[in-house]
Structure 1
Amino acid sequence: MSVNDRESFDADEAVGQSGKVDGHDFRADIVAVRDNVSVQTMLETVCMATGLRFAAIARVNEQRWITCSAVDYLDFGLTPGDELAVESTLCHEIRQHTSEIVINDVRSDDVYCDHHTPKIYGFRSYLSIPILRPDGTFFGTLCALDPEPNQLLDNRILKMVRLFAQLIGDSLHAEDKLLETRGELAKERHLADVQEQFLAILAHDLRNPVAAIRSGLRILARHADPQAKETISLMDATARRMADLVNNLMDHARNRLGGGIVLVRSKNADLAGMLNLIVAEFRAVAPDHGIHATIDIPHPVDCDRARIAQLLSNLLGNAITHGAQDRPIQVSARVVDGMFRLQVANEGKAIPEGRLSDLFLPFKRGGDTSSREGLGLGLYIAAEIAKAHGGAVSVVSDDTKTVFTFAMPC
């Protein structure tokens, strides 16, 4: 028994020609059924339980009948992607009425004894169960046939085959949802890439205007009177803060786009001098906090001192922003047992425990942020600088104080 009047072609080619049918992609349907290992087991079970020697899952619509998966012990000749003329099949009637067909022996069947389909394909026993998606839309059929008669009107057999058809419909729905989720994820990834590129361009283009402002302020300060110099100094501190934000944006964008935090390490880095300079700058910016520093680094440290200074600047900026106002900030930097440790401690409310886990993620901020400035990049950049140095930044927070600690091997 074989099928001679059928079109045979590759599944991928069939799909490319068919496009979308009933709002669904034929290609995705064929592949989803063909590659589902459970479907093959179901079809084999149908054959064993019924005695029918050919079983298949067919995708059926008004114009087409295409094989998605088949078990063929008859050399019937249908493989995934093969197509029959839909009018020549009983599945065409099932699609129209969404009802099953079960035939023990065509020759003694009052309805189908003279039907053209059994004559075309030479079968006597046949069953076909509609496959519906959970929303009720018709997908196709689970059909089986044999050139010999078989006892198919058995409630146990029919319950099993109906269950298989339902499971296949449910799996197709799950596959549709998976493809939809993958599409949404791809869109989100593309949007994220565009956002990262926008941040990189924005940060790059902001650097020159900020540098020009600071340069102009320095020129003005040379010829200003004492009162004007004080105002210029405050403006320059604000411009420096803007420059820090731009640098954080640049580092974030570079890191997210694959460049990572760039280090220029030196084994003879005068780290103590650089850290003292950062502390002095913040004392000028936030005199009410009274920054107390203990910096004890008697020997050079192998590091990128500009990056470590940036890390301290971010931690100090965070302490000033989120710490208790008019309360001192403690800075400690020392080398102990081959480890460089830098700590910044501020008084104030504890960071909520629920925020500690994402504190070092980009665009996340600790404490009450309703009236705070910043982008939420400072701690993230600090953590990335620490990671680039082979170290890490940690935090401990309670109702008395919050302490950020950076530690790295010397």
Structure 2
Amino acid sequence: MARGELRIYLGAAPGVGKTYTMLEEAHRRAERGTDVVVAFVETHGRRHTEAMVGDLEVLPRTELRYRGAGFTEMDLDAVLARKPELAVVDEFAHTNVPGARNAKRWQDVRELLDAGISVLTTVNVQHLESLNDVVAQITGAQQRETVPDAVVRAAEQVELVDMTPEALRRRMAHGNIYRPEKIDAALGNYFRTGNLTALRELALLWLADKVEDQLDKYRADHKIDATWETRERVVVALTGGPEGDTLIRRAARIAARTKGADLMAVHVARNDGLAGADPATLARQRVLVESLGGSYHQVVGSDVPRALLDFARAVNATQIVLGASSRGRFAQLFSAGVGVTTTALSGSIDVHLVTHELAGQGRRARRSGAALSRGRRVAGFLTVLLGFPVLTGLLAIGRGLSLTNDILLFLAAVVGVALIGGLWPALLAAVGSSLLLNWFFTPPVGRFTIAEGENLLALGIFVVVALAVSWVVDTAARTTRQAAEAGADAQTLSAVAGSVLRGERPLMALLERLRETFTLDSVTLLDQGVVVAEVGQPVCTRPAEADAEVKGDDDITMLLKGRPLEASDRRIVEAFAAQATLALRQERLTAEAATAKPLAEADRMRTALLAAVSHDLRTPLASAKASVASLRSADVHFDDEDRAALLETADESLDRLTRLVTNLLDMSRLQAGALGVAPIDIGADEIVPHALDDLGPAGHDVRLHIPDDLPDLRADPGLLERVIVNLTANALRHSPPGRPPVITASTLGGLVEIRVVDHGPGIPEDRRDDVFLPFQRLGDRDNHTGVGLGLALSRGLTEAMGGTLTPDETAGGGLTMIISLPAADPS
């Protein structure tokens, strides 16, 4: 069964005509023979919208009860049963009433699409998740109903219903949007011209991104590599040299000439050696690019011009900014250079060669620094200047060695100098030693001539070997230093990978980084042959379609499309695949934990509720039923006294049951934030006595200490009375005989504190917060009385009135409950 298609009408603000336009399209489809039903349309009393519904089939809504009120929602089951070709569903971001099958209407729409039903719907830009905070900052109104951007972007069509701010305000003034009593407030607040202009721009920019995604997909599907100049995209190439700052600023000025142009900086890292750009310079230039509103990218390639152009074409760049060559004219005779080659191969992409201070000055490629330290080089030169004359003198005095042995000793000395000071001291040693051998030890002695051909050959081999050994030693030292720098770069890349894995979507970020680094068309991750993540276009889902296949583990496979992998790249990609496997597992574990936690919490609460309520519901019900059943029995005759006793038992049981149900309902209202609070200024000396009266005879034993000059406090009298009743009843239950609870009151700053003090066993300090958890009865001597809601409810009621309820230790043993509420305003 084919999946239905989704068409969304996007508006910048309420009243632009989204629903009206949606209904117009529904009528057009119906006239063409499409089976259309109106699943849900909210007209908000707008007569033109109501008239546009016309003769379209309207499905009845389902009725739901919530908090004692009735609500209507779209009847999802009725739409699925009716199974039209097209359903009209208004207000895509709407939150359904609790009790509906799905929490959000967009989830209802997803079920319709999965069932093969196409949907027309509407949404405002302020309901998009990514723009919700921006809209709140602009308008000052926080929108609580949102829809994920990805859900809207996945729609086959998104159509902007646009209207100028002036036209929308005129529509508002004519009463076509809100009722007359709301018009002035709306025009002066949310519907100000500046607000509407900003919202309109947000909608246009967001939709432009959506259109760009569609264009990229079309180009990928049709294998279009040529640049389409739909939007200016300026790519600036960075070598890691100091000229990069000039190039970035120049590229930023080029991008700024066109509204909405993109600025991207790219560095091509060579994959054929250890030498590279200065990481510190690139890091600083990345900060500069991002501060100018651009983005930084890095790709790998041995052919810099081709790698740069591959990246530019992949992002549909229109212009490339390069620095003029820093090489000298002599070097340019042997190689055209990156700038000239890029220009020749760029095709329709414009290339800007920007001059800079280093252009044409013959700047050498960046070296990783001298192979050896300065101290070692100085030691090498000193060894040549001091050691070689000494060696010459010793050999001249001895005169017992042949020329061959003399050459070998000097060669050993040259190797030693190379090990100590590197290339340049060794070159000096090789030249100097050849001259010394010629003058002092090669016949004719004392002259720079050589009489025998063998001696000439020996000296020639000596010079070649000395130079070769010097070069090898210096290259080895330089390579060692470069390897150390490469290791440091690897640590930096590891830190970057760690930051990716710690992000919100580590897996997708990792795959995107891999695709970008190696200039791939797409990267797909398969788990046992099933696609679990993908980036780029076109996506390959089978190994036969991919240009490269890399295993993450026995089940996870990564498919790469775009170009075959070089052997030097495969090791790095395998590391990416391993990290992607870990990221996939981490995301799954996180999702499972997030799903399991509320379920475990709900199960714990449900178990506690059943365990606590099962006894306390049955006991009063059983007592009341037994009393009523006895009174109704015709087999037994009760006198007036017995009848009164049975009625009293039934009355007390029903009162107990009422208190239990009331506490449960109030607790649910607190958790749902639906408890009504009406605070007034009232004195504690008025509230506390009423609370004690509610406790019956037991309340008469409680001692009161309330100062006459205590200021009034601000609270809801009914709620505060219930808090005091619960706390006092709890204190009475734990107080020893002869030591009843005490209620005192005092002021502290701008607060009035009411203390309910008992001298019972108390509660350990590390368990005090546990007494406020629902269904807890810590320390109750009678653990079969109540369901453990009293203290939890008391804290919730106190906090609902803007106060706090905290436990403290009673001096001499026991527990003191402190109710802190704001004092009344003396004015």
Q: TM-score, normalised by structure 1?
A: 0.57
Among 501, 504, 510, the residue aligned to 1:38: 510
1:259 match: secondary structure: coil
Among 572, 576, 589, the residue aligned to 1:164: 576
- Structure-2 residue corresponding to 1:109: none
1:179 match: secondary structure: helix
Identity %: 18
Counterpart-to-counterpart distance in 1, 2:566 and 2:680: 86
Superposition pairs of residues 174-323 of structure 1, within 5 angstroms: 174-184=586-596, 240-260=655-675, 262-267=676-681, 272-282=685-695, 284-285=697-698, 290-296=701-707, 302-323=714-735
Among 47, 57, 62, the residue aligned to 2:523: 57
Counterpart-to-counterpart distance in 2, 1:42 and 1:381: 54
Aligned-residue offset at 1:343: 1.4
Residue deviations 1:347-381 (CA, integer Å, cap 9, x gap): 12231222223333333344357735222211122
5+ long unaligned stretches in structure 2:
1-109, 116-153, 155-503, 629-638
- Structure-1 residue corresponding to 2:774: 362
1:278 maps to amino acid? A
Bigger Cα displacement from structure 2, 301-310 vs 345-354: 301-310
Counterpart-to-counterpart distance in 1, 2:670 and 2:559: 53
Counterpart-to-counterpart distance in 2, 1:66 and 1:230: 71
2:720 maps to amino acid? I
2:783 match: secondary structure: coil
Among 551, 570, 573, the residue aligned to 1:130: 551
Among 387, 405, 410, the residue aligned to 2:818: 405
Bigger Cα displacement from structure 2, 369-378 vs 387-396: 369-378
Does structure 2 conserve the Cα–Cα contact (< 8 Å) formed by 1:266 and 1:303? yes
Aligned-residue offset at 1:331: 1.6
- Structure-2 residue corresponding to 1:26: none
Aligned-residue offset at 1:176: 2.0
1:165 match: secondary structure: helix
Among 68, 71, 79, the residue aligned to 2:534: 68
Aligned-residue offset at 1:325: 4.8
Does structure 1 conserve the Cα–Cα contact (< 8 Å) formed by 2:556 and 2:581? yes
Counterpart-to-counterpart distance in 1, 2:787 and 2:557: 54
1:272 match: secondary structure: helix
Counterpart-to-counterpart distance in 2, 1:233 and 1:64: 70
Aligned length: 306
Does structure 2 conserve the Cα–Cα contact (< 8 Å) formed by 1:234 and 1:285? no
1:404 maps to amino acid? M
- Structure-1 residue corresponding to 2:760: 348
2:755 match: secondary structure: strand
Counterpart-to-counterpart distance in 2, 1:66 and 1:401: 59
- Structure-2 residue corresponding to 1:21: none
Does structure 2 conserve the Cα–Cα contact (< 8 Å) formed by 1:59 and 1:139? yes
Aligned-residue offset at 1:167: 0.8
Does structure 2 conserve the Cα–Cα contact (< 8 Å) formed by 1:142 and 1:165? no
Distance 1:139 1:335, change over 3 A: closer
1:181 maps to amino acid? A
Distance 1:62 1:173, change over 3 A: closer
Hey, which of these two has a bigger chunk of strand by percent?
1
Aligned-residue offset at 1:245: 2.8
Aligned-residue offset at 1:236: 5.7
Aligned-residue offset at 1:272: 3.0
2:552 match: secondary structure: strand
Counterpart-to-counterpart distance in 1, 2:800 and 2:528: 62
Residue deviations 1:260-280 (CA, integer Å, cap 9, x gap): 2x234444x575355224324
Does structure 2 conserve the Cα–Cα contact (< 8 Å) formed by 1:271 and 1:297? no
Aligned-residue offset at 1:54: 3.8
2:771 match: secondary structure: coil
Distance 1:130 1:265, change over 3 A: closer
Residue deviations 1:61-94 (CA, integer Å, cap 9, x gap): 8988898235xxxxxxx43xx346x4744x6xxx
Does structure 1 conserve the Cα–Cα contact (< 8 Å) formed by 2:806 and 2:818? yes
- Structure-1 residue corresponding to 2:786: 374
1:139 aligns with 2:556: yes
Distance 1:234 1:397, change over 3 A: farther
1:58 maps to amino acid? T
Counterpart-to-counterpart distance in 2, 1:182 and 1:344: 40
Distance 1:282 1:238, change over 3 A: farther
Does structure 2 conserve the Cα–Cα contact (< 8 Å) formed by 1:130 and 1:140? yes
1:128 maps to amino acid? E
Bigger Cα displacement from structure 2, 238-247 vs 160-169: 238-247
2:674 match: secondary structure: coil
Does structure 1 conserve the Cα–Cα contact (< 8 Å) formed by 2:508 and 2:535? no
Distance 1:166 1:187, change over 3 A: same
1:400 maps to amino acid? G
Aligned-residue offset at 1:297: 5.5
Counterpart-to-counterpart distance in 2, 1:354 and 1:301: 31
Does structure 1 conserve the Cα–Cα contact (< 8 Å) formed by 2:549 and 2:558? yes
2:677 maps to amino acid? L
1:358 match: secondary structure: helix
Counterpart-to-counterpart distance in 1, 2:717 and 2:601: 35
1:394 match: secondary structure: strand
Aligned-residue offset at 1:318: 1.3
1:357 match: secondary structure: helix
Does structure 2 conserve the Cα–Cα contact (< 8 Å) formed by 1:391 and 1:407? yes
Does structure 1 conserve the Cα–Cα contact (< 8 Å) formed by 2:805 and 2:818? yes
1:252 maps to amino acid? M
Does structure 2 conserve the Cα–Cα contact (< 8 Å) formed by 1:271 and 1:305? no
Counterpart-to-counterpart distance in 1, 2:689 and 2:532: 76
Residue deviations 1:191-220 (CA, integer Å, cap 9, x gap): 79999x99xxx9xx99xx99x99xx9xxxx
Counterpart-to-counterpart distance in 1, 2:505 and 2:744: 64
Distance 1:166 1:342, change over 3 A: same
1:367 match: secondary structure: coil
Distance 1:194 1:309, change over 3 A: same
Does structure 2 conserve the Cα–Cα contact (< 8 Å) formed by 1:297 and 1:334? no
Counterpart-to-counterpart distance in 2, 1:63 and 1:371: 57
Counterpart-to-counterpart distance in 2, 1:62 and 1:309: 63
Aligned-residue offset at 1:342: 1.7
Distance 1:297 1:264, change over 3 A: farther
Aligned-residue offset at 1:162: 2.1
Counterpart-to-counterpart distance in 2, 1:33 and 1:341: 49
Counterpart-to-counterpart distance in 1, 2:653 and 2:781: 20
5+ long unaligned stretches in structure 1:
1-11, 18-30, 48-52, 71-77, 92-125, 217-222
Bigger Cα displacement from structure 2, 182-191 vs 167-176: 182-191
Aligned-residue offset at 1:315: 0.4
2:728 match: secondary structure: helix
1:141 maps to amino acid? M
